[in-house]
Amino acid sequence: MFDNLRDIDEKLGELERQLADPMLVNDQRRYREVVREHAQVAKIAELYGMYTSVCDQISDSQDLIRSEQDDPELVVLAKEEVEELARKQVELEQAIRIRLLPKDPNDDKNIFLEIRAGTGGDEAALFVADLFRMYSRYAETQGWRVEVMSSNPIGIGGFKEIIALVSGQQVYSRLKYESGVHRVQRVPDTETQGRIHTSAVTVAIIPEAEEVDLHIEPSELKFDVFRSSGPGGQSVNTTDSAVRVTHLPTGLVVTCQDEKSQHKNKAKAVQVLRARLLDRMEQERHDKISEDRKSQVGTGDRSERIRTYNFPQGRVTDHRINLTIYRLDQVMAGMVDDVIVPIITHYQTEALKSSN
């Protein structure tokens, strides 16, 4: 594997020549592909340069050990340096192997974050709002932008569902393992006897589809407009600004009513619909349409879960890797890396095992 990296600088130079070609920008899809590949190859080249430097330092230190046997103190220092360099060498090898794994083509994409209330009534809807705040705060720490595309609020501050576009660097690669059922155990504010309730919320992470990824014929879309609904008061529009778009060949329906402008709601609805259609097509290509969707999102039943948030004990448990941490307050405040990084590392390790 590392023998193949000896020509990495030549590959990097070729990509830089392509980026310097003014004609490349005329093909936006190809331009994005070259930009992404250049970023990937540049990082591998950087890591490989560090790796070869460490290998050279190890060789020099071993030569020093062999040539300075009459100076025990110098030999001890050189051996300590070799041990430290060997540890760094292993770390760099692992980092390079991970970079060389087959890349998910969606990793660099923005995502639609879809959170829906499952089992638990109003308490589940309130937890939808809590999870949305958690991911929004995490997005702030990553420099990402969050734009609500559609929501269905309830009067006490929760949501039956909320859909948001999260834009930024490496959003999908960071959040793709968040899809599934998130279970919450806590005493609801409306509980008078202090009993702990268990509710469930489903999270779906869907990569954003660009127009170059999927073309939709205008004749395939049916648009309906209606008056938006909400918890009441000033939030309810008095004009027909809400939009429902139906993709006739598949029956997929998306509703958007958050904007006061009908045109903005229409644009957002089509954007969400495009992503869902591409997500469906990718699942069909992998011959696991229903099973894949079920394993990703689940039905919202309490028994199906990837993660549990237990408020009385202040703990978060990821059931896929048997990870439990007692920092629930920090996680809900947006420190999601505490649970995201271990699951990413787990799947990277599994992928490395499969590639050997």
Q: What is the pLDDT of residues 137-185, one digit of tens each?
A: 999 999 999 999 888 898 888 999 999 999 998 899 999 999 999 999 9
Inter-residue contact 195 to 187 (CB < 8 Å) = yes
Q: Is 198 exposed, middle or buried (0-12, 13-18, 19+ CB in 10 A)?
A: middle
Name every residue whose Cβ is closer than 8 Å to that of residue 325 and which is 6 or more positions away in sequence. 315, 316, 331, 338, 339
pLDDT the model gives residue 232 = 46
Say which residue, 200 or 354, is predicted with more confidence: 200
**For residue 130, pLDDT beyond 50:** yes
d(CA 57, CA 47): 15
pLDDT the model gives residue 289 = 35
Inter-residue contact 111 to 208 (CB < 8 Å) = yes
Picking from 167-171, 302-306, 307-311, which range would have the lowest pLDDT averaged per residue? 302-306
d(CA 14, CA 99): 19
pLDDT the model gives residue 212 = 57
Q: What is the share, in percent, of the chain residues with pLDDT greater than 90?
A: 40
Degrees to nearest 5, angle at CA 195 with 154 and 130: 35
pLDDT the model gives residue 303 = 46
Which segments within 31-135 are labelled E, that is strand?
111-117
**For residue 23, pLDDT beyond 80:** yes
Name the nearest CA neighbour of 333 among 174, 114, 138.
138
The answer, as to whether pTM is greater than 0.75, is no
* Mean pLDDT value of segment 218-235: 71
Alpha-carbon 102 to chain mean position: 17
What are the tokens at 299?
Answer: 């039905």
Name the nearest CA neighbour of 336 among 141, 180, 203, 169.
141
Q: Bridge-partner residues for 148, per DSSP?
A: 164
**Residue 251 exposure: Cα atoms within 13 Å on the Cβ side:** 0
**For residue 28, pLDDT beyond 50:** yes
- Whose tokens are 């809590």? That residue is 130
d(CA 70, CA 49): 34
**For residue 233, pLDDT beyond 50:** no
pLDDT the model gives residue 238 = 53
pLDDT tens track for 86-120: 999 998 988 888 788 777 888 888 999 999 999 88
